[in-house]
Structure 1
Amino acid sequence: MEYIYRNLENIPVDIEYPDDFENIVTDTLCKPIIYNRFKKVAHCPKFGETFDYVDTIRKGDWLPYRGENRTFMPHTCHPLLSGQTYVWMFYRDETIYFVVVYASWIYNGEEVADMRDVTQIYIEQIVCISQEEQFMYANQGTYRGGWTRYQDGSIHLIDKGYVYNLVNQEQLQDTFLKYMDIHVRCADYMIKEAAVCAKYPQVEFIKKAGLEEIIERKVVKLPSYIGPNWRAKSIPKFLGITHQDIEKLKSWGMFDVDNIATYKILASQGKVKKHHIGLVKREFQTSELYENRKKENFVRLATYFDKQKKRMKEDSNYINHSIKWMYSDYIKQLEKLGYPLNDYYRYPKNLKESHDRISEEYLAMKDKIRKEADKERQEKFEKEFLPRLEKMCWRDSRYLIRPLRNRTEFNKEGRNNHNCVASYYETATEGGTSIFVLRKIEAEEESFVTVEIDLQKGKLKQCYGKGNRLPEKEVKEWVEKWLVRMMKKLKYADKATMKGAA
């Protein structure tokens, strides 16, 4: 068995390898047995053995070999490859070194009888953790500069998936982190936690206080919403609360991360009682409390919600979420309408009635604003674009075609012809497109075909009947001829205008 070690050039640390490392790789790296069914010969790259066989073997068969089931693959299936990431540690000069390597084996189609059993070992990362500093070396490849140093914020196993962890608890207990009780189950977490523990020695008493979840959130970069002081040397200073607060939370059975965070936020707004925490947590997530801590009095708001639920005579998740949504919508509408956000308006006696009343007022305001905007839009349309479109009106013995002239007509056409032309009103009135309607003679008020044209290019963009169905061929041809005729008409009219101006 041959092992080739890569990335050793200019390596920044003199690595110590685990005992029997190569045998560990041999035992754990999954290598299929390669066989040649024509020559009835097979090779086991795990044990470096070539052997003859007489039985029928098929691709992907799991068959016993040397006391274990192994996968058999034909020599025509190449390239075949397998790889595995490994992590180990060694301790030297008061520094913990975690080494990350990738072992790779590849079969490229060589003759089965002549196969070389070569495993490439790529040294990829070296994490260095001491009490003074925590950093990582990572190999970027020969063409990208080789080894590069990263600070502690970048300590992690980059895109490694499953990692075979060779580190055990006893090894860590023989280092300066021996009292930190670091988890070794997940290699990535283990390395990050070791870095945090080395950087903040007070982690030891934080864990002993039963607050390990704060460390976990720090390691995986999740907020705790407590705002801990990581340089503090006592639990009260670390949490930013008094010793009496801690004893109070312990007596309430609420000495955990979420309850501490909730207590701190509520305490910044007033005196906190035990039932306040439960009341507030039933209504709000911790993240909501933290993000809005300067805007809301959560005890008062949660008490208000509770009273509104009792008024509705129901206490379910549906009602809970409904009240929160209703209140949020009510406050937003109050702000839009310019009401003062004093207690009278913030906490109405009957939330549902107040919300419905304010919603009607808000919708009326929006409708007024829309009508005013539509009036301005319509005036501009009638002045700048509609006169040109009116010149394109045409009728013969069969059909009449004319532009849509206002929002009412756009809405009516969309409703009667079952299409989305109503949504084109803003674009059409700004000159972005032009919408016409085709009617049958003696049925001018009945929707028949909706037409969209690009007036700048003189092209037909859409021509659809009811429900966006294609009209009959002769109808589309009529529209196309009309468009050609109208574009010529407009062209002549433009030339005449230019001559008159000259």
Structure 2
Amino acid sequence: MLIKKELQNLPLSPAPDPTKKIPLTAGAKIHQLPRCGRILALDVYQQRKLLFRFFSDGKNCITWSEHPGKPGWTKKNLFQFDGIKYQAISIRPCSVKRITHILKANPSSLNVLHQTEECVGEFIERFHKQKKERARDAKCRLMEQHLDMFPAYPDDLDEFCENHVFHRSIVYLSKLEKGKRWGRCMHCGREFLLDRSVKPGSEGTCPKCSFPVRFRGERATKPIVEKAKICIPSRVDGQLLLRYTDVRRVISPDEREPEFDYSDFFLNIVVEKAGRQKAYAYWWRSYPYYWSGWSRLKNGSGCYSYTYVYTENLTEVFGEQYCHVDLQAGLRDLLRPIDFAGILRNLQNIPQAEYLFKLGLPGLAAGLSLKESGAASFSELTGVSKQYLPILRETQAGKGEINLLAESQKWVPFEVFRELCALNLDITGLTTMQSIMEYNSLGRVLRYLQGQKKIKKTYANLLGLYRDYLDMARNLGCNLKKKAILEPRDLKAQHDLLAEQLAAHKTEKENLLLPHAIENGLYEWAQEYASEDYCVVYPQTKNDFINEGRILHHCVGNASYYDRHVLGRSMVFFIRRASQPEKPFFTTEIDMDAGRIKQLYGFSDCSAPKEVRGFVEGFVRAAMRWRNAERMAG
């Protein structure tokens, strides 16, 4: 045991006198202390000035640093000076024996000048290694204890997921015979007769159990696989356990009922000790072909995945009332996954969360932040009128969808908002929709895009296509007040047409940059430069760059070379044979500020021979003289 108060009172150990070659010295003594026991005190000096003191009882170690800026206790290895592992330290042999006796070290170095640091360094390394191993073992034991606390899945979890997580089932249809066909519902398991109006691919409800279903032919052999996430709370020995699980439902025509698979991906344990809560978090990590297993996260970490909530035991876990609300009643019929941990946290800390939860808006209650805790009304909390409350409660709309309501300058009918929520757009899709609403109303956008089903794209991609079309139309000065332009009959064709026009317009502007730069004096300094074998050609248009890159198969046709050339700082010149000045031969890029060759390449980026490089270097020197003379004349 090392007690700092006792260690501080130990006298310093004497050390040999320093020399010019060995300025570091050390002395060691063994002390018998009442509470610490047998202690090794090793004092290290530099030119007779104490650097630090090292104390050890053979099991633990600690160091007192005399650093002038910040003296104090540390567990770092101060024997490694400037990254040198074994620094020469002058010490008496008797002191080395004391060190090896207490630290149970056996130095391999025959030089006594290096034995001190070798013994202590190995002990410190061994000490920290053993400490890490003990901490890792304790961490693993604690994790095993926590994982064993979680009970088995509830017996009715399959039934709960079928009724409250997956909101639609499948009805398999037989072949049509005499205008009728048999249907078999995978939700209730019953069979019934249907007329010819019911076709595979359509949607409806089961005539026996009234559950929403999608009709599918029995000849389809591929199973239907759907996935969701669910949080299963429980309480064991007074501790709150939150189990986050991936749910996989498989519906196959060969089976009589759906099959469910469960796999945990996140675990939270809230432990109460001495009136204080401590939250442990474990995350299932999976590395294909390498390793899979549970990993402990930082205490207080939470799961950020939105999940459904198993509500059949919420009263047992949280009681009849949790922060003045009935969790079981409020979360039983969730239409969308929510942040369950966010609800528990906000109900404790934000009064407005209780208000929204009781209004039937648990999703909004979970997403509240402390910045919104000062809101005094429904409109301040949501940004919309309370007239929208019935449809918000019915659809359990999220914050992004409500923001679209707030952005809308006109009243949005309930059926329009219901259609929007049915799309289940992610944050990217909602942001795109919000930007589109600068041009068109929400209802008209939904109706228009529904009419563009012939475009084989997802709804999110269709939104992006429409937004790009509107932005291009505005940049080209089109009259977006006309319906034919605002809502074109063929969105894809009009989008591609405007893209071509915009590209041509941009190219036309870019092509004028070099002629304008030449008129403004880009080549005022330039003169003809040629030898018997080679000559220099100055590009005059953007097409010159494109043709040069296309014929020589290199990248000078890229826009970046053209843009830098127009600025006159990193310029491109064409090197041609004197006998064939029209035929591309080599291309060079020259830094006109530094007066050096940046690049010099021929066909397929081949290197230039010595005579070509020598010719170009002569041109660079001449170009710099011409530029300087032009500036002096100006």
Would you say the 8 A contact 2:472–2:498 is kept in 1? Answer: yes
Q: Which amino acid aligns with 1:331?
A: L
Would you say the 8 A contact 1:400–1:439 is kept in 2? Answer: yes
SS of the aligned residue for 1:218 comes to coil
1:445 aligns with 2:595: no
SS of the aligned residue for 2:562 comes to helix
Segment of structure 1 superposing worse, 326-335 or 281-290: 281-290
Residue among 534, 539, 556 paired with 1:421: 556
Unaligned 5+ runs, structure 2: 5-58, 60-124, 143-268, 281-295, 303-314, 329-338
1:300 aligns with 2:444: yes
CA distance in 1 between counterparts of 2:396 and 2:623 reads 84
SS of the aligned residue for 1:447 comes to coil
Q: Write out per-residue CA displacement over residues 33-78 of structure 1, whole angstroms, 9 at most, x where no aligned residue.
A: xxxxxxxxxx9xxxxxxxxxxxxxxxxxxxxxxxxxxxxxx96882
CA distance in 2 between counterparts of 1:429 and 1:260 reads 48
Residue among 374, 395, 405 paired with 2:531: 395
SS of the aligned residue for 1:214 comes to helix
Structure 1 residues 172 and 489: CA distance shift in structure 2, 3 A: closer
Q: Which amino acid aligns with 2:474?
A: E
Q: Write out per-residue CA displacement over residues 234-277 of structure 1, whole angstroms, 9 at most, x where no aligned residue.
A: x8997677887545666xx5345479738945986335143652
Would you say the 8 A contact 2:407–2:434 is kept in 1? Answer: no
SS of the aligned residue for 2:129 comes to coil
Structure 1 residues 293 and 349: CA distance shift in structure 2, 3 A: closer
Give the alignment of 1:86-485 within 5 angstroms.
Answer: 89=272, 98=277, 161-162=298-299, 177=323, 196-201=346-351, 203-204=353-354, 206-218=356-368, 231-232=376-377, 246-247=389-390, 254-257=395-398, 261=402, 264-265=405-406, 269-274=410-415, 277-278=418-419, 281-282=422-423, 285-289=429-433, 296-309=440-453, 312=454, 316=456, 318=457, 320-321=459-460, 323-344=462-483, 345-380=485-520, 383-384=521-522, 386-391=523-528, 393-396=529-532, 398-423=533-558, 424-471=561-608, 475-480=609-614, 483-484=617-618
Structure 1 residues 307 and 3: CA distance shift in structure 2, 3 A: farther
Give the alignment of 1:28-43 within 5 angstroms.
Answer: none
Residue of structure 1 equivalent to 2:129: 78
Would you say the 8 A contact 1:439–1:445 is kept in 2? Answer: yes
What is the TM-score with the length of structure 2 in the denominator? 0.43
CA distance in 1 between counterparts of 2:382 and 2:375 reads 9
Structure 1 residues 255 and 388: CA distance shift in structure 2, 3 A: closer
SS of the aligned residue for 2:579 comes to coil
CA distance in 1 between counterparts of 2:441 and 2:470 reads 14
Q: Which amino acid aligns with 2:587?
A: T
Report how far residue 332 of structure 1 moved. Answer: 1.4
Q: Write out per-residue CA displacement over residues 445-475 of structure 1, whole angstroms, 9 at most, x where no aligned residue.
A: 332222223344432222212111223xxx2
Structure 1 residues 420 and 194: CA distance shift in structure 2, 3 A: same
Q: Which amino acid aligns with 1:362?
A: L
CA distance in 1 between counterparts of 2:431 and 2:549 reads 45
**Greater length-normalized contact order (CA 8 Å, ≥ 6 residues apart):** 1
Report how far residue 302 of structure 1 moved. Answer: 1.1
Segment of structure 1 superposing worse, 412-421 or 280-289: 280-289
Unaligned 5+ runs, structure 1: 5-42, 44-73, 102-158, 183-188
Q: Which amino acid aligns with 2:553?
A: H
Structure 1 residues 333 and 282: CA distance shift in structure 2, 3 A: same
- Aligned-residue CA RMSD in angstroms? 5.3
Would you say the 8 A contact 2:575–2:586 is kept in 1? Answer: yes
Q: Write out per-residue CA displacement over residues 422-458 of structure 1, whole angstroms, 9 at most, x where no aligned residue.
A: 3422222322123233333434333222222334443
CA distance in 2 between counterparts of 1:171 and 1:283 reads 31
Would you say the 8 A contact 1:436–1:450 is kept in 2? Answer: yes
SS of the aligned residue for 1:362 comes to helix
CA distance in 1 between counterparts of 2:508 and 2:403 reads 43
Would you say the 8 A contact 1:259–1:277 is kept in 2? Answer: no
Would you say the 8 A contact 2:343–2:362 is kept in 1? Answer: no
Segment of structure 1 superposing worse, 431-440 or 462-471: 431-440
CA distance in 1 between counterparts of 2:438 and 2:626 reads 68
Structure 1 residues 367 and 434: CA distance shift in structure 2, 3 A: closer
Q: Give the number of the structure whose residues are more often helix, by fraction.
A: 1
SS of the aligned residue for 1:78 comes to helix
* Aligned residue pair count: 341
Would you say the 8 A contact 2:530–2:578 is kept in 1? Answer: no
| Matched-pair identity in % | 18
Report how far residue 303 of structure 1 moved. Answer: 0.5
Q: Which amino acid aligns with 2:441?
A: N
SS of the aligned residue for 1:439 comes to strand
Would you say the 8 A contact 2:439–2:470 is kept in 1? Answer: no
What is the TM-score with the length of structure 1 in the denominator? 0.52
Q: Which amino acid aligns with 1:299?
A: G
Q: Which amino acid aligns with 1:377?
A: A
Segment of structure 1 superposing worse, 255-264 or 209-218: 255-264
